[in-house]
Structure 1
Amino acid sequence: MNKKTFIRAVEYWVSSADGDLLEFGGGLFGDAQRLEAATRNLCFGKGEGLPGQAWEAGHPLMLKSLQAPGFHRAAAAKAAGLTCAVALPVFVGERLSTVVVLFCGDDEEHAGAVELWHNQPEKSSDMTLLDGYYGTTGDTFEFLSRSTSFRQGTGLPGRTWENQAPVFMPDLGRGSGFLRADSAVKVGINRGFALPCSATDGNVYVLAFLSALATPIARQVDVWQPDALVSHLSHSFSFSEYHSIAEPISDDRLELGMGTVGQVFASGVPALMGDAIVMPVASNNRITAVLALSL
């Protein structure tokens, strides 16, 4: 029996020819067929819907309830068991290349959270929680998270901030790398994955997924990063709770612009590759990695 993944659907939006609208670019919807059907013919102006609001804000946005009045696909989301969403605008320089929306779901057996951390350099040297979705995880872990802060290089958000690239922590209960380890273990959380987010407002943003073996973040996660000369992309890591080891990747080292992964890095626009969505990861308005999510 397949486990349900925490991320259950992903869609991406791209600029129209005149740059005035966001049009549907593609996505993976799994069992959320009604959501897919309700999505394909949509478009959003700046400030409209979750994708348009993220475009206008110039930074990631979290919608903790898909039953909120401003979300027009509420019925389709509810039918698919989707409970929250995060919109990630990707800027290359001043140009918006895409808005990626990740939809998550949970249930009574779920243990996990989605967190959006940020740092405002003019106010503090710490990264604090901007918003978080904790589902059925429990109030104690949420309270601890909201009262925790990270310096650059410490904890999962701080390490991601420092690296400007995705970070995976396979066992949050071991070692001192995860500052909320004791509380996480008590609620069943044992995995952490975070990625830097693109923004135009001068602040730093990190999106973190915390999950458990019973509810893996995705079926498989793969990350590629450029080498020091930015001439090739190297497959930096994989993880999967569906296999003892992640499924092997044939494209371990790629020339820029070659293959789906290389094209996503070069263009800043996501693409579908089999049962995976390949998306750019940006920090400081430049692409720093490529992420593939298999759902």
Structure 2
Amino acid sequence: MLVREWISPTEGQGWFYQCLEETLCPFQWHYHPEFELTFTLRARGVRYIGSDIAPFGEIDLALVAPGQPHTWQANPPEQGQLHQVQVVLFRLEWLDGLAQGGLPELRALRSWLASVRTGVVFSQALAIALQPAFAELHSLRGVPRLACLLNILHALMQDAGARLIDGPGLVFHEDRRLQVALAHLQQHYTRPLALAELAAVAGASPATLKRLFHDGMKTTFSALLASLRIGHACHLLLTTERSIAFIATASGFPSVSQFYRKFIELKALPPAQYRSAVRS
């Protein structure tokens, strides 16, 4: 299931920081209107950002754009160890306020972030270099902590080895009808689902909801439904030994042939080849 995650800013600040130590990172699609910078240590698994699905290693640094479905799923750690995940969430409006309030040096960073539509996976070299900075971010408070965060953000846009995640991305939209429709879609995308059903749940006509998807999120209902289903299928391909036919049905596709066509269209490989390529 994909859930809307509600974020409260750190008290008195325009951004939110969280550090988690876990024995397991479960597969749970979620999204929110903030940018999310995630630094992961002592974990190995699969990272899902929008339609981009890739393995990650012992140290990982990635940025997720607003509104993008994402999750990390890590393998169980070695005995006596815990996964460590540091998360920073913020909105462009926060940087706009700082820039307009006397820090015009942040305009370049703001412009770079505005160009990130889906996400960025940063180089291992940068992740390793920033490990001490993330340790400081966790321990510092007040102005030194803010300065540390801004230095980390500045370093991101200097990373020549960063991989910009392709794709049009989704534009997060706060319209209540669209949010209700998205919540219903995200709970039921693995079963037969039509635009008319979402419209009825949201209290809008199908034509209105279609317009909201187009104008508010720059996508269509069918494209978002297919993306969610293929993301779920990729998760099953990489984490189970289930048959292609089972995965097609479990992901909401009415037929195996339709699943194959859509999978190849979005991932450029048949499902079995994708499973082998990503696992290798």
Q: Normalising to structure 2: TM-score of the pair?
A: 0.26
Q: Which has the larger radius of gyration?
A: 2
Q: Normalising to structure 1: TM-score of the pair?
A: 0.25
The structure with the largest strand share of the pair is 1
